Structure 1
Amino acid sequence: MSLRRLYWSALAGQWRGGVVLLACSLLEGVPAFFSGRLVELSVDRGFAAGDPAAGLGWLALFGLTAVLGAFGARMVWRQLGTVVEPLRDALVTAVVRGVLHDDSPPRNRPDSSGVARITQHVEVVRDATAGLLVEARGMLVTTTSALAGLMTVAGALVVPVALPVFFALAAFACLLPSLARRQRALALADEHTAATAGTSLSGVRDIVACDAQPVAALAMYEAVDAQANAAIRVARSSALRALVISLGGFVPLLLALALAPGLVVSGKLTAGAALGALVYLATTMQPALRGLAATAGTVVLRLLVALRRLAETAELPDVVDGTATPRGIDVRVHGLTFSWGASAEPVVRGLELGLQPGEHLAVVGPSGIGKSTLAGLLTGMLAPQEGRVLLGGVPVRDVPAALRHELVALIPQEAYVFAGTVRDNVSLFAPSASDDDLSSAADAVGAGALLRRLGGLDAEIGHGGEGVSAGEAQLLALARVYASAAQLVILDEATSHLDPVAEARAERAFAARGGVLVVIAHRLSSALRADRVLVVDGRETAVGSHAELVAGSARYAELMRAWATPVPDHAATGARPPAGAGGEPAGTSTGSPVGGGVAVGGAPSGNGHTTLSPSVDDGAATTGGAPAGGGTTATLGLSAGHDSRCHRIDA
């Protein structure tokens, strides 16, 4: 549904409130229609006829109609919220949906532009709609009532009065396109300023570290200057609009003052009718016309511009839901190719892959090479340019969205934890799960101690995961998916904030859970636990077991050599730093391995010539393919970009 259709449908859905507003409008228009007529009667049949009591009676009736109009206006305000607030809720929902489906969202930082759309443009639409329902509606009712009343009192003045009004409205209509363009330019400038400020604030540490304060300040100054210039252009257009409207409002009054005496002398108007006509023009129609035009020039323009801007970012293309039903949970990839842009090099090229239920695949490769892109292709969030991804024998994107969301789960590096109880977070994908099931899921992935520290499933988590560290948020996300019914689970560096012991426990839990497990490795130790490893580096793609790839893939062997570089300092002592050092959350690692293990030592020495590689399961390390001894503890270094601290892990 387009945003404008959403706007009108949201308003139409509040038709009961609209009916009440119409009734209140009729009541509000009573003084405008009767004001001039009652003044005419008070003069002609009261004061001019020598009967002050009758004149005062007509004026008292005038006051009564004013009270009725005020009551109608009060009822308008009471009904306004029932019409406008549901509209705002619908627009916020549309904007959030558009942000979540953005093809190029901000990476690892807040979407300041999206926040600006919610806090500025949605509020503009809400306030403008409320302004139209109150001001413009009232002005239209008042103007129409005043013209109708003027025709009944002084029909001879209608044509001279109407001509300048129509001329002013025509001139105003000619100004509307330029007003709209300038108003839209101001809206875009507001968004750009918000985005620039958000980027600078979120990256202030990097800016200071790179001594880039002048560059960041210049970008901010330019954004603010552009915003100020856009506001000045809007103000100039508004001033011209006000001049046109003022002429349209005052010229009819001047013409009436000039023509009324002659019409009274000629007998075409009575003194009371002339005075009543001036009342219509001066106190009713002229301010109403000026207010109506001002409303159309500001509120309507802002409404149209804001709706257009929201439509550019919030409207989603109509997507036809799939109808295919998977026959199992096996994954088949045939000739898969994907690139970000028509002229860009593919990040995935001609990939062939098959995964059976119960299989554990690790994906390794340099950062930014396309591993997360592969995750998006496997889950159906991205459409391949060539090839197919089959889930249970059918294209994954042809599976109905609701069923796909039930069968497939992706945990990204930045875990999503929201305000609510721990139970709300862990049971997000399994709302009917019992407390025992949720606790068992937490224990399985190593989050049991976290639940006890927080106070159990009923413990509250603050806004944005307040009170929960990044590693603890990842544990909650792991428990959430473990408790779900998902049969294809993809961990996209989902354990990056955990220590190696906690990472190993979580991966083993998912491997033993059943279904298909794909781990996009944060540490190469994940490859040692997998049944097979997929190496992605943009040039070649290799699939096989760890031993097969060490022997047959130069790229994989190079990664393993860089990761397994010995570190003499830690090799001599076997020491490990205290928990919490080096940027890892305290309390997420344990001091002893689970079963036989290898020790992973500190920073790489840089020589890159070692042939040590950790073993799988039995705790042995091999040198040139020969065992170093069962259960031997070997000291290994991590490559740059990985954990550079000494940890003991069960590979």
Structure 2
Amino acid sequence: MSLRRLYWSALTGQWRGGVVLLVCSVLEGLPAFFSGRLVELSVDRGFAVGDPRTGLGWLALFGLAAVLGAFGSRMVWHQLGKVVEPLRDALVTAVVRGVLHDESPPRNQPDSSGVARITQHVEVVRDATAGLLVQARAMLVTTASALAGLVTVAGALVLPVAVPVVASLVVFGCLLPSLARRQRALALADEHTAATAGASLAGMRDVVACGAEPIAALAMYDAVDAQAAAAVRVARSSALRSLVISLGGFLPLLLALWLAPGLVATGELTAGAALGALVYLATTMQPALRGLAATAGTVVLRLLVALRRLAETAELPERPDGTATPRGTDVRVHALTFGWGATAEPVVRGLDLGLRPGEHLAVVGPSGIGKSTLAGLLTGMLTPQDGRVLLGGVPVRDVPAVQRHELVALIPQEAYVFAGTVRDNVALFAPSASDDALAAAATAVGAGALLRRLGGLDAEIGHGGEGISAGEAQLLALARVYAGSARFVILDEATSHLDPVSEARAERAFAARGGVLVVIAHRLSSALRADRVLVMDGRETAVGRHADLLVRSARYAELMQAWATPVAGGAAAEGAGSATAGGVAGTESAAAAAGGLVRGAATAAAADGGGSAPAAGTTTTAAGGTATAAAAAAGTTTAAGGTATAAAAGGSAVGAATRAAATAAGAGGAASAAAADADGGPARSAATTAACAAATAAAADSSEIAVSVSSPVGGAFSGDLADDAPAVVSGDLSVRPGTTAADVPVDAATEPPPWRPSPVPRAVRAR
């Protein structure tokens, strides 16, 4: 159903109110119909014949008619809300539903145009409809009543009066298309101004940080100037419209004044009839015509423009709700193809994929390659151009919306947190869940500390998530879905604002929860935790396990190589936690080069470890030679009579990874350790120092390893070293075999010095 049909159906649906308005219109028309006639009678039968009492009696009846008309107007206002408010509610529902079903909404910011349609255009329709029901209806009734009364009082003046009235209305009708175009241009200018202002405000932090205030201001100036110019054009058209209507209203009065004396002299009109005709024209018809034209030139035009704009951008979806019932939560994708436009290059092309319950898939690829588009297709939010997405054996878009929302959940990068309590936010998809269940869900995804900081489930959250960070908002969104019933969960970079430790914990929580988990990877370490990886690369896609993709997918190998920086004969990798000698302290261990990018005699991949996890089957031993292995800080690499090189690294709160490398000697060999920071930035891992401690675990002798650490790694450490305390690592350390990261001293009182990231790793030289 279109919005115009909805508009008329909403109006006609209030038929009781329409009947009352009709009765009110009859009462309102009484003064206009009887005004001239009663004046004629009061003059001809009263004052003109010397009977003032009779004249006053007729005028008293005129006053009674005016009272009845006022009563009718009062009843109109009482009934107006019963007709207009249901119409507004229906339009708001339709527009909101249309905005929510928009398959190409703006990303990462509010839909300012959609907000303008709801807050401006719908209100225009509401106010215009009210204006029509009050003003236009009253003007039409008054004009018709005045013409009918004029016929009964002074029929000889009807033709001269009607000609200028009709002429002015015809000219006014010819001006309406131009008025409508200019009014629509003004509406579009209003929307553009709202969209420009919304975009500038949404990106205000970046605008200020980049010094782009003049550019943003210029864009805003242009939008405001265009809006002002459109408003001026509308005002000029309105002035021309007023001139035409004024001529149409005053010419009949002038003609009546010119013709009336002659008609009275010939006896065709009495003095009372002439005076009554002037009353009809001057006090009734002329104001009614002016008001009717003003209403048609403003209210009607605004109504038509607003309805047209709403119909263009927010039509109700015609697709009926599905009726299919899924048989399970397995996901099958067959020849899936989608592009943003009929002639656009498809961003998803011929994709085939199968996901079983309990499976964890990571989706990786360059930015803008279509990963989020794939998420929309998998959830049924987007309609594929070709192919199918099956959920439990049935097309996902054929599943009833209510059931689909219970089975499928998509968590976007920008988490939405609404004003209310923490319980309101977390229990959105599980309204009947107990407090213990909600707290357990929050703890599972790593939001337990946030819950305690805020003060529990009853803590209030301000508008727009006031009082919490972007990362904390993501934790609440994760807890919200975890507490719900969805068994097909897609994390579309839903942990991008979290540190790697928290990201790993959240992903593991959903993976252990059961069902199907798809992670649109923000960090490539997510691929190491997944059962399988989907690599998107435009025309070609590849699906497989991590180790297999390193061999057969050049794009995947390139992504991993770009992510892992070679250091000290191996490759440093971005990790997600603080490593200890022999294990990982409650987080993951990410491998440099992910087990296949080190070129040389031998390579090995580090396993994803939740505890002590050396790379299973990947320790390379070289007799009398050299072995190079990429291993997590949790792993143990040994060499018989040679040298073993291992790499370990920590993550970063803002994406700049701390890289660490450690070399440990085999039996009878020299022992040394090195660490480097490749990218810089505030790190949330103590891997630089932990690598030094991890190196000692690989040493077979008991000799002391002396290392000099000079790493400009500032920020909040986590794990074994400190509890979110700003720190830097500096000075000389003496590390013995068996030392853990907790034994490495950290100066927590020193602020990190300002520094610029260098493309060349800064080595921590061994002594």
TM-score (norm 1): 0.88
Unaligned stretches of 5+ residues in structure 2: 620-627, 637-645, 658-682, 687-717, 720-767
Asked if structure 2 preserves the Cα contact closer than 8 Å seen for 1:132 and 1:295, the reply is: yes
| Matched AA of 1:295 | T
Deviations 1:568-593, CA, capped at 9 Å, x for gaps: 9xx99x99999xxxxxxxxxxxxx96
Distance 2:588 2:207 in 1: 42
Alpha-carbon distance in structure 2 between the residues aligned to 1:109 and 1:626: 41
Give the equivalent residue in structure 1 for 2:97.
97
User: What is the Cα deviation at residue 563 of structure 1?
Assistant: 2.7
Counterpart Cα distance in 2 of 1:213 and 1:475: 33
CA displacement at 1:594 relative to structure 2: 5.2
The Cα of 1:262 is off from its aligned counterpart by 2.0
Write out aligned runs for 1:527-546 (5 A). 527-538=527-538, 540-546=540-546
In the alignment, the residues of structure 1 paired with residue 331 and residue 385 of structure 2 have an alpha-carbon distance, to the nearest angstrom, of: 18
- What are the residue-to-residue correspondences of 1:547-562 with 2, within 5 Å? 547-562=547-562
1:473-512 matches, within 5 Å, as 473-512=473-512
Instruction: Kindly indicate whether the alpha-carbon contact (under 8 Å) linking 2:376 and 2:382 is maintained by their aligned counterparts in 1.
Output: yes
Q: Structure 1 residues 343, 131: closer, same or farther in 2, change over 3 A?
A: closer
Stretch moving more, 275-284 or 499-508: 499-508
Query: In the alignment, residue 533 of structure 2 is paired with which amino acid?
Result: V
Contact kept? 2:409, 2:486, Cα under 8 Å: yes
The residue aligned with 1:193 is 193
CA distance in 1, matches of 2:350, 2:418: 39
Q: 1:314 to 1:159 in 2, by over 3 A?
A: same
Q: In the alignment, is residue 175 of structure 1 matched against residue 172 of structure 2?
A: no
> Taking structure 1 as reference, are residues 468 and 12 closer, same or farther at Cα in structure 2, changes over 3 Å only?
farther
Amino acid at match of 1:171: V
**Contact 2:591–2:605, Cα closer than 8 Å, also in 1:** no
1:358-373 equivalence runs, <5 A: 358-373=358-373
User: Which residue in 2 is equivalent to 1:147?
Assistant: 147
CA contact (8 A) 1:249 1:286 kept: yes
Per the alignment, in what secondary structure is the counterpart of residue 29 of structure 1?
helix
2:402 — aligned with what? 402
SS in 1 for 2:368: coil
Structure 1: state its 5+ residue gaps: 579-591, 602-606
Give the partner amino acid of 1:418.
Answer: F
Alpha-carbon spacing, 1:104–1:630, altered in 2? closer, same or farther (3 Å): closer
Is 2:359–2:531's contact at 8 Å kept on the other side of the alignment? yes
Q: 1:529 to 1:575 in 2, by over 3 A?
A: closer
Contact (CA 8 Å) 1:600, 1:637: kept in 2 or not?
A: no
Counting only pairs closer than 5 Å after superposition, residues 553-572 of structure 1 correspond to structure 2 as 553-565=553-565
Determine the C-alpha separation between the residues in 2 that align with 1:405 and 1:533: 25
> 1:124 aligns to what SS in structure 2?
helix
* CA distance 1:448–1:273, change in 2 (3 Å): same
Read off the aligned partner of 1:616 and give its amino acid letter. D
Change (3 A) 1:255 1:564: same
Partner of 1:321 in structure 2? 321
Letter aligned with residue 222 of structure 1: D
Task: Decide whether aligned partners of structure 1 residues 81 and 593 sit closer, same or farther in structure 2, where only a CA change above 3 A counts.
Answer: farther
Matches within 5 A, 1:627-646: 631=635, 635-636=648-649, 642-644=655-657, 645-646=683-684
1:588 alignment partner in structure 2: none
One-letter amino acid matched to 2:415: A
Partner of 1:337, secondary structure, is: strand
More off after superposition, 290-299 vs 363-372: 363-372
Deviations 1:310-353 (A, max 9, x none): 11111134113333332222112233233333444332233222
Cα distance in 2 between the residues matched to 1:563 and 1:320 = 46
Q: Provide closer, same or farther for how the CA distance between residues 28 and 163 of structure 1 changes in structure 2, counting only shifts above 3 A.
A: same
Shift of 1:564: 3.3
CA distance in 2, matches of 1:67, 1:127: 27
Question: Per chain length, whose mean CA-contact separation is higher, i.e. which structure has more relative contact order (CA < 8 Å, sep 6+)?
Answer: 1
Deviation, structure 1 residue 626:
7.4
* Alpha-carbon displacement from aligned partner over 1:176-214 (angstroms, at most 9, x marks no partner): 111111111121122222222333343345445555555
CA positional deviation for 1:450: 2.7
- The amino acid that maps onto 1:598 is S
Shift in CA distance, 117/620, structure 1 to aligned 2, threshold 3 Å: same
Could you state the TM-score of these two structures normalised by the residue count of structure 2? 0.76
Determine which structure has more spread, i.e. the larger CA radius of gyration. Answer: 2
Q: Which residue of structure 2 lines up, in the alignment, with residue 583 of structure 1?
A: none
Give 1:374's aligned residue: 374
Aligned counterparts of 1:314 and 1:529: Cα–Cα separation in 2:
42
Residue 762 of structure 2 corresponds to none
TM superposition shift of 1:97: 2.5
> Structure 1 residue 612: deviation in Å?
7.7
Q: Distance in 2 between matches of 1:27 and 1:422?
A: 57
Distance 2:632 2:106 in 1: 47
| Contact 2:493-2:522 at 8 Å conserved across structures | yes
| Secondary structure of 1:598 counterpart | coil
Q: Distance in 2 between matches of 1:319 and 1:238?
A: 42
The one-letter code sitting in structure 1 at the alignment partner of 2:520 is I
Percent identity between the two aligned chains = 81
Q: Match of 1:584?
A: none
Task: Quote the offset at 1:284 in angstroms.
Answer: 0.7
**Is the CA contact 1:597–1:631 (under 8 Å) kept in the aligned structure 2?**
no
Q: Is the 8 A contact 1:564 1:637 kept in 2?
A: no
Query: RMSD in angstroms over aligned alpha carbons?
Result: 3.2
1:118 aligns with 2:112: no
The residue aligned with 2:354 is: 354
Give the secondary-structure state (helix, strand or coil) at the position aligned to 1:69.
helix
**Is the counterpart of residue 4 in structure 1 residue 4 in structure 2?**
yes
- Residue in 1 that maps onto 2:624: none
Q: Which shifted more, 108-117 or 469-478?
A: 108-117
1:599-647 per-position Cα deviation (integer Å, ceiling 9, x unaligned): 899xxxxx99897854213432567667678655953266998353242
Match of 2:257 in 1: 257
Cα 1:80–1:455, aligned 2, differ >3 Å: closer, same or farther?
farther
Q: How many residues in Structure 1 have an aligned counterpart in Structure 2?
A: 629
Q: How does 1:29-68 map to 2 (within 5 A)?
A: 29-68=29-68
Q: Contact 1:21–1:79 (CA<8 Å) still a contact in 2?
A: yes
Aligned partner of residue 224 in structure 2, secondary structure: helix
Contact 2:584 / 2:613 at 8 angstroms: preserved in 1?
no
CA apart distance, 1:380: 1.8
Mapped partners of 2:633, 2:196: distance in 1: 58
* Partners of 2:134 and 2:529 in 1: CA distance: 67
* C-alpha distance in 1 between matches for 2:53 and 2:203: 78
Q: Distance in 2 between matches of 1:275 and 1:342?
A: 71
Q: Is the partner of 2:336 in helix, strand or coil?
A: strand
* Residue 164 (structure 2) pairs with residue 164 (structure 1): yes
What is the aligned partner in structure 2 of residue 615 from structure 1?
Answer: 607
Deviation at 1:169, TM superposition (A): 1.2
